[in-house]
Amino acid sequence: MKFEDLKLVGTLLRAVSGEGYTVPTPIQEGAIPHALAGKDVLGVAQTGTGKTAAFVLPTLQRLSATPAPARRVRCLVLTPTRELATQVGDSFATYGRFLPLRHTVVFGGVGQNPQVQAIRGGVEIIVATPGRLLDLINQKLLSLAHVEVFVLDEADRMLDMGFLPDVRRIIGALPKQHRQTLFFSATMPPEITQLSSTILSNPVRVEVTPVSSTADTVEQRLYLVDNEDKRELLVHLLQKPEISRALVFTRTKHGADRVVKELARASIPAEAIHGNKSQNARERALNGFRDGGLRVLVATDIAARGIDVEGISHVINFDLPNIPEQYVHRIGRTGRAGAAGIALSFCDAEERSYLRDIERTIRRSVPVIQSQPYHSARAQNASPNTPPPKQGQRGGRGQGKGRPQQRGGGAQRSPGKGAGTSSASPSKSAPKSFSTARSRAPRRPTAKWS
């Protein structure tokens, strides 16, 4: 099937073709026809499958086919993080560049005046995170009374971040009649299943992969290592030029900062991105990682679904996540859109229970790399029932479910960017010490679906 077979209008086909795409991904092929027909859609798809275009394209076609007499908010897209909101906004700009529709992105962390001015100037589409959107609604600066299309993106991440109460309040402000709802989630835990049943009307379910499965394009490897040796192992791996662009995940914000400092001592430049970083610092780190000036980015799970960067060759789980679905989200940053990628996970003795839960969730065992200089017999022999680290020890078991900082901007028309991946494998030997290494510049990225 080609995009021409999906009955998209010529202006959208021209925009899609301009991005170099001719064949839709499975989620696009499954969801777009039903969305164009005005049906509610429940899409279950991992990150990197092209699901953003699966709701952006039909929404643009619907709104352009029936112009409103005045500019007013006709579509609301709700996302969990400001980075993801920005990327969705870029997609509306990219695929809607030949249409007269206007959009804006709304999130916290910056002053609200530019956002309010954009809304007052007239926009049909708002992409928002829950916190700032509710602030504007409560100040009566924004009305959702005319919303025709509501998109809830990354619904399970909303649950993880504690946003479901805010989401329900926002849904209460939407019209109950004549509204199309497009609901997307990488996983379907019970709370998300219940939410979908309350807001969707006779939905068409489009599921392109089993719930909580990992992409076949990602090669997974496990390193059993003592906690005190994790930083040495990370430096050992990053000294190999095969890792052209690495995204490293830690469980806590302080852990991310510590990893960056240790890498700096080994002359490996890296930046951290997490909720405690200022908006300028987060954007600077992401832009450097995106344009190839920064080879290593260290992130927490807050940023897991907001990072859409081309050419990530490796995802490294410095700490295993305590929520098994997070593992799927993390390694989904590589091996995207059919490209190959590698996921390397470090596991110490206290994390064996996390590993057990992850392998049960993905329904496969992660192969152990034995021939590495920091292999831990203690971690290998530990029982999967070993109690995990307690709250407050080694950074705790998570970052909590508080609302992260959010930010936003004005009405936008500029095109966005995509991403792709490349593959490499780590070397198997190195001295057990920090040593100086220079990073090799990453290859130029290729286009991908967001």
**Using 50, 70 and 90 to split pLDDT, how confident is the model at 214?**
confident
User: 310 and 173 share a domain?
Assistant: no
pLDDT in tens, 20-30: 999 999 999 99
**Which H/E stretch holds residue 328?**
helix 324-331
- Report the chain's mean pLDDT, rounded to a whole number: 84
CA torsion through residues 16, 180, 170, 49, sign: negative
**How many domains are contained in the chain?**
2
Identify residue 343 by its one-letter amino acid code: A
Maximum average pLDDT range among 237-241, 300-304, 421-425:
237-241
Domain boundary among 172, 207, 242: 207
**Using 50, 70 and 90 to split pLDDT, how confident is the model at 193?**
very high
Is the distance from CB of 249 to CB of 318 less than 8 angstroms? yes
User: 178 and 274 share a domain?
Assistant: no
User: 235 and 312 share a domain?
Assistant: yes
C-alpha dist (Å) from residue 309 to 133, 416, 418: 26, 12, 7
Whether 128 maps to a domain, the answer reads yes
User: 89 and 146 share a domain?
Assistant: yes
Whether 431 maps to a domain, the answer reads no
**Using 50, 70 and 90 to split pLDDT, how confident is the model at 393?**
very low
Question: How far is Cα 121 from Cα 115, in angstroms, rounded to an integer?
Answer: 10
Q: What is the largest CA-CA distance in the chain?
A: 70
Domain boundary among 207, 228, 259: 207
Whether 406 maps to a domain, the answer reads no
Does the pLDDT at position 426 exceed 50? no
Q: Which residue has the tokens 């010529």?
A: 10
Whether 249 maps to a domain, the answer reads yes
Residue among 162, 213, 154, 209 nearest 183 (CA):
154
Is the distance from CB of 126 to CB of 73 less than 8 angstroms? yes
In this prediction, residues 286-304 reach a mean pLDDT of 86
Whether 32 maps to a domain, the answer reads yes
What token pair was written down for 17? 């073709």
Domain boundary among 173, 207, 241: 207
In this prediction, residues 368-380 reach a mean pLDDT of 96
What's the pLDDT score for residue 168? 95
Q: 129: domain range?
A: 3-207
Whether 222 maps to a domain, the answer reads yes
What's the pLDDT score for residue 248? 97
User: 107 and 251 share a domain?
Assistant: no
Does the pLDDT at position 436 exceed 70? no
Whether 213 maps to a domain, the answer reads no
User: 358 and 246 share a domain?
Assistant: yes
**Using 50, 70 and 90 to split pLDDT, how confident is the model at 440?**
very low
Strands 125-128 and 246-249: unpaired
User: 227 and 198 share a domain?
Assistant: no
Identify residue 415 by its one-letter amino acid code: P
C-alpha dist (Å) from residue 327 to 216, 289, 292, 428: 14, 21, 25, 24
User: 328 and 356 share a domain?
Assistant: yes
pLDDT in tens, 327-364: 888 888 888 766 789 999 999 999 999 999 999 988 89
In this prediction, residues 91-97 reach a mean pLDDT of 96
Write 192-200 long-range contacts (CB < 8 A, 24+).
Answer: 192/155, 192/156, 192/159, 195/155, 195/164, 195/167, 195/168, 196/42, 196/155, 199/150, 199/152, 199/171, 200/40, 200/42
User: 193 and 295 share a domain?
Assistant: no
pLDDT in tens, 98-155: 999 999 999 988 889 999 999 999 999 999 999 999 999 999 999 999 999 999 999 9
Whether 424 maps to a domain, the answer reads no
Is the distance from CB of 179 to CB of 149 less than 8 angstroms? yes
What's the pLDDT score for residue 419? 34
What's the pLDDT score for residue 394? 46
**Which H/E stretch holds residue 280?**
helix 279-291
User: 146 and 255 share a domain?
Assistant: no
In this prediction, residues 31-52 reach a mean pLDDT of 91
| CATH number of the domain within which 155 lies | 3.40.50.300
What's the pLDDT score for residue 302? 67
In this prediction, residues 429-444 reach a mean pLDDT of 34
**Using 50, 70 and 90 to split pLDDT, how confident is the model at 46?**
confident
What's the pLDDT score for residue 162? 85
User: 27 and 66 share a domain?
Assistant: yes
Least confident of 21-35, 43-57, 100-114, 389-403: 389-403
User: 40 and 171 share a domain?
Assistant: yes
What's the pLDDT score for residue 310? 75
What token pair was written down for 269? 């430049």
**Using 50, 70 and 90 to split pLDDT, how confident is the model at 212?**
low
**Using 50, 70 and 90 to split pLDDT, how confident is the model at 206?**
very high
**Using 50, 70 and 90 to split pLDDT, how confident is the model at 50?**
confident
What's the pLDDT score for residue 303? 60
In this prediction, residues 227-233 reach a mean pLDDT of 97
Strands 411-412 and 103-106: antiparallel
**Using 50, 70 and 90 to split pLDDT, how confident is the model at 416?**
very low
Least confident of 57-71, 371-385, 391-405: 391-405
